[in-house]
Chains A and B, each alone.
Chain A
Amino acid sequence: MSQTPASKVLASRVSDTLPERHGPLRDLVTGALSVLIAIVLGASHFNQGGRLHEDYGAEPGPALLPELLLAILGTAGIVLIIRGVLSKISRPGQINGIDASESDAPNDFEQQSEPAWAFLVLASTIAFGLLQTAFGFGIAAAILGAILCATLAYREGRPILRALAEGIVVAAVLYGAFRLVLSVPLT
C-alpha cells in the first residue's frame, strides 16, 4: 500500500525504523559532538577544586547527577559513532535495508533547503549582540532588522532598498512597543 506524503512524514516522526537522509553522517557528527562535550565538561568537573567532590555523608552530594549525566552522554556518543561507522561500512548502498537513493529522494512535503542563509542570519544575530554593547539596543536592532529584511528580500527576488527601509520600520515599531508601551529600559 502506498503511503501518502503526510503519513510518510508522520511515520518518520513517530518511528525510528524508517530510513533517514544522511543518517550515518549525522550519527558520526552527533556522536563526536557528544563525546567532545562530555570530555570538556568532564575535565572541568573533575578538575574543579573546593567542596564539589567532598564526602557529604548520607547526602549523595552535588557531584552525583553531573557525573551520571557525563557518563550517559559519553556512552551515547560512542554508541552513535559506532552505529554511524557500522552503517557506513556494512551496507554502503543501503540504510536500514532500504536503497539509499530511495531514502535520499526528498519527500513531497520537503522544500529545498539552503542552510547557508540560516547561518548568515545567525551570524547577523551574533553581530547584533556585539553591536548593542557599542551602539545601544535601538541602533543595533535597526541595523539587524535592515540586514535581515534585505537578506530575505534578496532570496525572494524583491527590491533590497525597500526591504532595508521595511526592516528599520519593523525594528522601530517593536523597539517603541517595548520601550514606550511595556516600559522595558532598553538603552
Chain B
Amino acid sequence: MLDVLFALLFDPLAMGLCLAGVVAGLLFGAVPGVSSTMALAVMLPLTYGMTPEHAMMLMLGVFFSSVYAGSVSAILLNIPGTPGAMMTLLDGHPMAQQGRAGHAMSYALIASIVGGLFGWVFLTLTAPLIAQYALKFGSPEYAAVVFFGLALVAYASSGDTLRGVVAGVLGLMLGVVGRDAVTDVPRFTFGIPNLESGIDIIPLAIGLFGVSEALAAIEKTPPKEMPRMVRLGSLMPSWRALLSEAPAALRSSSVGAFVGAIPAAGSAVAVAVAYSIEKRLSRSPEKFGTGLPRGVVAPEAANNACVGGALIPMMTLGIPGDSITAVLIGVLLLHGLRPGPGLFESQPDFVSTIYIALLFSIILTAVIAGTIGIRLYNRVLMLPRRILFTGVILLCLLGAFAVRNSFFDVWVSILSGGFGYVLVRLGVPILPLAFGLVLGPVLEENLRRTLMIHKDWSAFFERPISLTLIMIALAVLFGPFFRSLIRRVGLRRR
C-alpha cells in the first residue's frame, strides 16, 4: 500500500482532483436540498476521461466532505443538509442560537474527522478478511447475497417494504433491458436500437439522484426570508472540553462504522442509534436537545464513520451499502471494473487506491474546512435557490450527454428524473430501483449458472450460506406483514 500512497502523493493531478472533490463536496453538502448522492451524481460524468484511480480520488473527496458538510446547514439554519445530519440539528442549532455556532461547527468537524478515521481503520482491517471469505462463494451464494441486499434495501428505505419491493423489481427489470449476454436475444427493447446495449447506470443515476431530487426540492415552498448571517462566536472550544467528548466520539464512531457496513442501513439509522446511546449513557439526559456538544459529537462521528463502513459491502461483495455507494459502483463500471471479492485478487493496487483516496479525503476535509470552510459557510448558504437548482439541472443534462456524447443518455436522465419524482410523490423509495439496476445482471448471471449446474432450485437451500441469507431476506420481506397481521388480530380481540 505504501507504494500506492507515494505514487498518489507525488501525482499533482490526483491530489488536485482530491482537493477539488473535497471543495465541491463541502459546498454541495452544506446547501439544503443537495444531498451527498446528488453531489456525486452531478460530478460523476466528469470522471469519464479520467483513469479509475483519479476518478476515485475525486469522487471519494466529494463523498466524505459532503457527508461532513451536511452538519453546516443543520447547525446554522436548523435544516439538515443531508439525511445523516438529522440529529445534529437537535443540539447544533440551539448552540448557534446561544451564540456558540463556531463551537458547534468545530465540534462537528473534529467529530467527523475522528469518525472518518475510525471508519477508515475499520474498512482497511475488515474488508480484506470479508473479501477473502467471499472468494469461496459459488454462484448460489452470490445470487443469495444479491437477493439479501435487495431485501434489506426494500425494507430499510423510506416508504414501506412492499413499495420498496416494487421499486427493486422495477430496477431489476431495467437491468435486463437489452441483449442477453449469453444468447444475444433482445429483451424489452421495443425495437429501439439504443436500448439493445441496455440502460446505462450513469444517466439513470443522474436522473434518479440528480434531476428527481432537484424536482423534489423545487416543489417545497421557498422560505419567505433569505437566511440571515449567523454570528459564529469563538471557533475553538477548550482542549479540556474537546477531550471530555473523546469517549463519546469513539463509541459513536464504532456504531457508525458497524451500521454503515450493513447494506442499506445507512447513516440515518447510525446517527439515531449513536445519539440515543449517548443520551442513555449521560448523567443528565434532559440536557440533550438544549445545545449540548455531545449531541453534535455523537451523530457527526457516527455519520462520517459510516463512509468507511458503507464501502465494505461495495468493495467485498459488490453490493452498494447505500445510494452513494450505488453511484460509486457506477464509476467503477464506467471504468470497466466490477466491484466484489475479485477486485482484491485481480486489482490489489486499485483497492489500495480506494483506501488512500479516502484517507486523503479525510485529511483534506479537516484542513480545508478547518482553515477556511467554517468562516465561509455563512456566505455559501446565501446562494439563491434559483441559481443553485438551475445549475444542478443543467449540470445533470450536460453531464449525461458528456458520458458517451449521446442525446439518448440525456433523454434517459430526463425520463428517469421524471419517473423518480413521480415515485417520490407516491412514497415509493427510489434507492431500491438503483440497487436493482446495478445488481440485476449479477443476480441473473448467478441464478442461471446455479440452475444450469445444479439442475434445480434446491441448490439454494442445501448450502448453509445461501440458505441463511435467503431465510433472513424472507424474514425481512414478510416480517412487517406478519407483524401488522398480529397487531390487527390483537386490536380486534381488545
| Chain A nearest CB, measured from B284 CB (Å) | 17
- Sample of 10 further A-B pairs with CB below 8 A, known A69-B172, A121-B218: A6-B90, A30-B163, A52-B185, A60-B448, A62-B183, A76-B165, A83-B162, A97-B487, A141-B398, A152-B390
Please state if A97 and B491 are interface contacts (CB–CB under 8 Å): yes
Residue A58 CB within 8 A of the other chain: yes
- A residues near B418, Cβ cutoff 8 Å: 122, 125-126
Number of interface residues of A (CB under 8 A): 85
Please state if B89 and A174 are interface contacts (CB–CB under 8 Å): no
Please state if A115 and B385 are interface contacts (CB–CB under 8 Å): no
User: Which of B46, B386, B426: most chain A Cβ within 10 A?
Assistant: B386
Please state if A79 and B268 are interface contacts (CB–CB under 8 Å): no
Please state if A14 and B390 are interface contacts (CB–CB under 8 Å): no
Please state if B166 and A111 are interface contacts (CB–CB under 8 Å): no
Contact pick for B393, options A14, A148, A156, CB 8 Å: A148
The 3 closest A-B pairs by CB, nearest first: A152-B386, A16-B160, A62-B180
Measured between alpha carbons, how far is A148 from B158 in the docked complex, in Å?
Answer: 29
Please state if B187 and A170 are interface contacts (CB–CB under 8 Å): no
Main secondary structure of the interface of A (DSSP, over half): helix
Please state if B390 and A41 are interface contacts (CB–CB under 8 Å): no
Please state if A30 and B185 are interface contacts (CB–CB under 8 Å): no
Binding site for A on B (CB under 8 A): 46, 49, 80, 83, 86-87, 89-90, 156, 158-163, 165-166, 169-170, 172-173, 176, 180, 182-183, 185-188, 190, 211, 214-216, 218-223, 268-269, 272, 289, 384-387, 389-391, 393-395, 397-398, 401-402, 405, 407, 410-411, 414, 417-418, 421, 425-428, 440, 443-444, 447-448, 451-452, 455, 480, 483-484, 487, 491
Measured between alpha carbons, how far is A170 from B386 in the docked complex, in Å?
Answer: 10
- A residues near B162, Cβ cutoff 8 Å: 76, 79-80, 83
Interface positions, chain A 38-95, Cβ under 8 Å from B, are: 41, 44-45, 48, 50-52, 56, 58-62, 64-66, 69-70, 72-73, 76-77, 79-80, 83
Contact pick for A112, options B182, B220, B272, B386, CB 8 Å: B220
| Chain A nearest CB, measured from B316 CB (Å) | 24
Please state if A118 and B219 are interface contacts (CB–CB under 8 Å): yes
- A residues near B390, Cβ cutoff 8 Å: 145, 148-149, 152, 166-167, 170-171
Contact pick for B426, options A29, A83, A125, CB 8 Å: A29
Could you give 24 example pairs across A and B, Cβ below 8 Å? Answer: A6-B86, A10-B268, A14-B272, A30-B166, A45-B188, A52-B187, A58-B452, A60-B451, A64-B448, A64-B451, A65-B172, A65-B440, A65-B443, A69-B169, A121-B215, A125-B417, A126-B418, A129-B407, A129-B410, A149-B386, A170-B387, A184-B401, A185-B405, A186-B401
Contact pick for A12, options B158, B173, B221, B452, CB 8 Å: B158
Please state if B176 and A65 are interface contacts (CB–CB under 8 Å): yes
- A residues near B86, Cβ cutoff 8 Å: 6, 9-10
Measured between alpha carbons, how far is A4 from B295 in the docked complex, in Å?
Answer: 13
Please state if B411 and A129 are interface contacts (CB–CB under 8 Å): yes
- A residues near B87, Cβ cutoff 8 Å: 6, 10
Please state if A118 and B185 are interface contacts (CB–CB under 8 Å): no
Please state if A76 and B169 are interface contacts (CB–CB under 8 Å): yes
Please state if A112 and B221 are interface contacts (CB–CB under 8 Å): yes
